[in-house]
Structure 1
Amino acid sequence: MTKTALALAAALALTGMSQTALASANCTEHPKSEWLSEDAMKAKVGEMGYKIKVFKVSGDCYEIYGWTKDGRKAEIYFDTKTGDVVKSNID
């Protein structure tokens, strides 16, 4: 393969990977009055064994960036009402 073909193949692979990595979770929409409070959700996440680096609201989800109890990087989306995991990416 030529350098140009290799560069093109690498660019296409990265584009596909970034679209997958950036795809957000499909959380159920709940009225804000039914959401777990952020403090309650952070406590629940801690009880699940995750260490939180970043906690945020992402659309209709709570989202964390942090680590699992065994030290692996984690990006987890949670239902705002139940606190259930909707989507997780663990490295």
Structure 2
Amino acid sequence: MKAILLSSAIALTVAGSAVAGPTCTEADRSTWMSQDMMKQHIMDQGYRIKKFKETSGHCYEIYGYDSKERRVEIYFNPVTGEAVKTEIDD
């Protein structure tokens, strides 16, 4: 029984880390762009934001669409505004 519980715990840990997003920064939160500034920065790059959030990895993340109307999920460094990880559904 203990082996089954241990195997389940290990499987859940591995599965959870597989879907975890990147870590974008360790910089102090006071150096981050405001959410409004970041949203504007993203829209200025041609993206349409459907959902915007802050992640546990200290990123700003969006779900939305690019200029070609493809669905995107993008993690941004909140200090620099640079895209750290981008996933595009063709």
TM-score range normalised by the length of the shorter chain = 0.7 to 0.9
Figure out how many residues of one structure are paired with residues of the other and give that number. 74
**Higher RCO (C-alpha 8 Å, min separation 6):** 2
| 1:31 correspondence with 2:34 | no
Which among 47, 51, 61 is matched to residue 44 of structure 2?
Answer: 47
TM-score, normalising length: structure 1: 0.75
The gaps in structure 2 that reach 5 residues or longer are 1-14
Deviations 1:27-50 (A, max 9, x none): 121111000000000000000111
The gaps in structure 1 that reach 5 residues or longer are 1-15
Deviation, structure 1 residue 23: 3.2
Matches within 5 A, 1:1-80: 20=18, 22-59=19-56, 60-80=58-78
SS at match of 1:43: helix
Task: Write out the 4+ residue segments of structure 1 that deviate beyond 2 Å after TM superposition.
Answer: none
TM-score, normalising length: structure 2: 0.76
Give the residue type in structure 2 aligned to 1:43: Q
Q: State the distance in 1 between where 2:28 and 2:86 align.
A: 23
**Superposition CA RMSD, Å:** 1.7
SS at match of 2:63: strand
Q: State the distance in 2 between where 1:39 and 1:68 align.
A: 19
- In structure 2, the partner of 1:89 is 87
